[in-house]
């Protein structure tokens, strides 16, 4: 919290380790957690932010009673608007129960956002429109508590379309625009799988290890699950700080395709033969032992390889590769439009082609422009 606040999202996370009665006795208010959340959010407030939201989870609720709640606001003074609405809820309860603030158990039962886990977020919009639907936290609901998920954060992923494709997810237009939407689907996918294997006994750290390995980009994210897990995580910044590999140090350690697409889904023929041998005995999410290698420029180094995901060979189809095909189609349309624009404008450009490159086939389309200028 000591860092200077700049143009970025704000994130606040609180986990109360004591019962509400403790805070009533020690601090004179059952609202201790919500008050702290408000202060943390206000400290990160800057004028560029265009919305806010909070999510809370109540522990040990009776079956059938709500345990996860969320509120968001896209108003100009969004933090104030959110906590004013919570204040109005308390005032309404006090009309029929004037002394309810003296009874922590009743407060927890009647006030939606009085939970033991609290997650707050301030949005500095870089994706999507300026409306409340893009404010965090995002929530994924389920009838099983352990499979409910709330997420909020600050990030920039470069592979969200690949993430959707990986789990064969076809997002709506709002979710498709959001990095958080892709992260939500991936984490929830592994969360459900873990709960299916061990109902009610999910190891959240293992769920996150599997999910985070797939995220390509920078991020700081906080989350809550309906059964009381809370977490804050960030990208592996050590890669960009310590790696000497120019091809992957700024991509979170991921090797990218050489076709210029930036994809981190690679075929065997795009890997060097030594890496293919290393991957042969690795299972998904496993790491190799540190191994010496020589890169394309003859420079020696040491690398540790992780197999993030593996897809069995198959003929490309819309069912398994919908997002990848769609993204490729969009890129082709962009290139066609750009090429058309160049061909229309090329005669009005001032162009000088070096003699060494005039025989290059790629330069032929520019030659008429150079001839016309002589």
Taking the chain (374 residues) in consecutive chunks of 10 residues, what is each chunk's mean pLDDT?
54 94 93 95 76 95 93 90 94 92 93 96 70 88 95 85 86 79 93 94 92 86 95 76 64 67 71 84 83 82 82 78 77 86 78 78 68 50
Mean pLDDT, all residues of the chain: 83
CA distances (Å), origin 279, targets 25, 204, 262, 289 = 58, 27, 21, 11
Last residue within a domain, chosen from 303, 330, 355: 303
The domain containing residue 364 runs over which residues?
318-372
Alpha helix ranges (H) inside 144-236: 160-166, 173-176, 179-197, 204-212
Q: What is the pLDDT of residue 242?
A: 60
Q: Are residues 24 and 89 in the same domain?
A: yes
Q: Are residues 113 and 37 in the same domain?
A: yes
From CA 23, how far away is CA 104, in angstroms rounded? 9
Please give the radius of gyration of the chain, using alpha carbons only, rounded to the nearest integer: 26
From CA 218, how far away is CA 158, in angstroms rounded? 9
Q: Are residues 332 and 262 in the same domain?
A: no
Q: What is the pLDDT of residue 338?
A: 85
> Could you tell me the CATH number of the domain that includes residue 40?
3.30.1490
Instruction: Provide the 10 A C-beta neighbour count for residue 60.
Output: 9
Q: What is the pLDDT of residue 237?
A: 64
Q: Are residues 29 and 47 in the same domain?
A: yes
Whole-model pTM above 0.85?
A: no
What is the tens place of the pLDDT at every residue in 18-70? 999 999 999 999 999 999 999 999 988 875 567 899 999 999 999 889 999 99
What is the tens place of the pLDDT at every residue in 246-287? 666 656 677 777 665 566 677 777 888 888 888 888 888 788
Residue 126 domain-assigned? yes
Identify the CA nearest to 329 among candidates 103, 111, 161: 161
Q: Are residues 213 and 261 in the same domain?
A: no
Residue 1 domain-assigned? no
Q: What is the pLDDT of residue 14?
A: 96
Q: What is the pLDDT of residue 248?
A: 67
φ/ψ bin of 156: left (φ > 0), alpha (ψ from -120 to 50), beta (otherwise): beta
Count of CA atoms in the C-beta half-sphere (13 A) of 68? 24
Q: What is the pLDDT of residue 297?
A: 76
Q: What is the pLDDT of residue 353?
A: 77
Q: Are residues 91 and 115 in the same domain?
A: yes
Last residue within a domain, chosen from 80, 115, 136: 136
Q: What is the pLDDT of residue 3?
A: 43
From CA 93, how far away is CA 109, in angstroms rounded? 11
Which residues are CB-contacts of 162 (< 8 A; sequence separation ≥ 6)?
216, 263, 264, 265, 323, 324
Last residue within a domain, chosen from 235, 270, 288: 235
CA distances (Å), origin 165, targets 27, 213, 214 = 50, 16, 12
Residue 308 domain-assigned? no
Per the structure, the count of domains in the chain is 4
From CA 312, how far away is CA 94, in angstroms rounded? 61
Q: Are residues 157 and 224 in the same domain?
A: yes
């Amino acid at each position: 919290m000591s860092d200077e606040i700049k143009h970025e999202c704000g994130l606040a996370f609180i986990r109360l380790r004591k019962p509400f009665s403790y805070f009533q006795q020690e601090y004179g208010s059952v609202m201790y957690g919500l008050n702290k959340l408000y202060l943390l959010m206000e400290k990160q407030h800057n004028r560029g932010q265009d919305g806010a939201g909070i999510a809370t989870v109540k522990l040990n609720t009776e079956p059938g009673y709500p345990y996860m709640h969320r509120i968001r606001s896209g108003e100009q003074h969004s933090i104030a608007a959110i906590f004013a609405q919570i204040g109005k809820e308390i005032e309404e309860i006090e009309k029929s129960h004037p002394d309810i603030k003296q009874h922590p158990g009743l407060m927890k039962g009647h006030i939606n956002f009085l939970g033991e886990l609290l997650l707050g977020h301030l949005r500095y919009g870089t994706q999507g429109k300026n409306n409340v639907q893009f404010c965090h936290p995002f929530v994924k609901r389920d009838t099983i508590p352990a499979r409910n998920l709330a997420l909020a954060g600050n990030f920039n992923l470069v592979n969200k379309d690949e993430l959707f494709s990986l789990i064969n997810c076809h997002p709506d237009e709002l979710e498709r625009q959001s990095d958080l939407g892709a992260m939500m689907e991936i984490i929830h996918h592994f969360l459900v799988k873990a709960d299916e294997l061990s109902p009610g006994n999910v190891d959240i750290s293992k769920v996150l290890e599997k999910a985070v390995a797939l995220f390509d980009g920078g991020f700081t994210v906080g989350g809550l699950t309906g059964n009381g897990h809370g977490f804050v995580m960030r990208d592996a910044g050590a890669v960009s700080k310590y790696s000497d590999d120019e091809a992957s140090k700024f991509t979170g350690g991921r090797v990218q395709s050489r076709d210029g697409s930036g994809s981190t889904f690679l075929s065997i023929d795009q890997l060097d033969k030594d890496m293919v041998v290393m991957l042969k005995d690795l299972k998904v999410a496993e790491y190799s032992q540190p191994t010496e290698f020589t890169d394309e420029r003859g420079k020696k180094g040491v690398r540790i390889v992780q197999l993030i995901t593996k897809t069995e060979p198959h003929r490309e189809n819309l069912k398994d590769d919908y997002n990848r095909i769609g993204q490729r189609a969009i890129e082709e349309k962009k290139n066609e439009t750009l090429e058309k624009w160049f061909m229309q404008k090329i005669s009005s450009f001032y162009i000088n082609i070096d003699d060494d490159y005039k025989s290059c086939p790629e330069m032929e389309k520019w030659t008429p422009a150079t001839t016309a200028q002589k």
